[in-house]
């Protein structure tokens, strides 16, 4: 059911506006806010994927402060949320860890704000997760989205979040929260 749900925020490989592959910068909000959302919805682990050593060092400092330093004493809720957080170099490392922990490869869910064909609805995916014993990994991109090769290795391509307007530029933090609420909502 929903006890084998994982989330990953991809900072590499990511599309640049011109379509080339880049690494995007990690923000503090990527670490804190998405961890809090994932913990609220009982996500097993939240992975942040970056291949840049300097970015990893920044994240490790933030984690040390909140998990081992004064931050954890000051705000135990934030510490608890960050206990599900993990940082990995590549998506393959995330898949490998989940496979090791669960005994099988996770079903991978691709997300994007871009309109595309052959997508699964939130309701369909919710039912798939609810009726399955398989682990699920929901991927979120940064920058201008994840490249096609990630979509090609995914088992599901989730429909984009749409509002009743033409503007469509949610923060990834908002997209994670909306997605988890639509998939899990009051079920947890």
**Nearest-angstrom CA–CA distance, 13 and 101:** 24
Q: Whole-model pTM above 0.85?
A: yes
- Across the chain, how many H-helices and E-strands are there? 8, 8
Helical segments of the chain, H only: 28-40, 53-67, 70-74, 76-82, 91-102, 122-130, 148-153, 172-183
Read off the tokens for 64: 């040390």
Pairing of strands 107-110, 21-22: unpaired
Q: Are 144 and 16 in contact (CB under 8 A)?
A: yes
**Nearest-angstrom CA–CA distance, 187 and 183:** 9
Residues facing residue 48 across a β-bridge: 9, 87
Q: Kindly report, residue by residue over 7-22, the tens digit of the pLDDT.
A: 999 999 999 999 999 9
24: how many CB neighbours lie within 10 A of its CB?
22
Q: Kindly report, residue by residue over 142-170, the tens digit of the pLDDT.
A: 999 999 999 999 999 999 998 887 887 89
What letter does residue 154 receive in the DSSP assignment? -
Count the alpha carbons within 13 Å of 120 in the hemisphere toward its beta carbon: 21
Q: Kindly report, residue by residue over 83-116, the tens digit of the pLDDT.
A: 999 999 999 999 999 999 999 999 999 999 998 8
């Amino acid at each position: 059911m929903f006890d084998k749900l994982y989330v990953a925020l991809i900072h590499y490989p990511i599309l640049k506006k011109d379509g080339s592959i880049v690494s995007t910068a990690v923000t503090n909000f990527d670490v804190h806010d998405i961890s809090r959302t994932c913990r609220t919805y009982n996500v097993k682990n939240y992975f942040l994927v970056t291949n840049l050593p300097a970015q990893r060092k920044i994240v490790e400092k933030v984690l040390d402060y909140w998990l081992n330093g004064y931050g954890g004493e000051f705000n135990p809720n934030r510490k608890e949320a960050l206990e599900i957080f993990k940082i990995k170099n590549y998506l393959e490392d995330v898949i490998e860890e989940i496979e090791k922990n669960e005994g099988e490869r996770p079903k991978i869910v691709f997300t994007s704000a871009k309109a595309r064909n052959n997508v699964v609805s939130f309701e369909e995916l919710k039912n798939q997760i609810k009726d399955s014993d398989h682990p699920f990994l929901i991927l979120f991109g940064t920058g201008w989205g994840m490249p096609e090769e990630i979509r090609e290795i995914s088992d599901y391509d989730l429909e984009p979040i749409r509002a009743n307007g033409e503007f469509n530029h949610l923060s990834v933090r908002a997209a994670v929260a909306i997605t988890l609420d639509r998939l899990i909502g009051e079920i947890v």
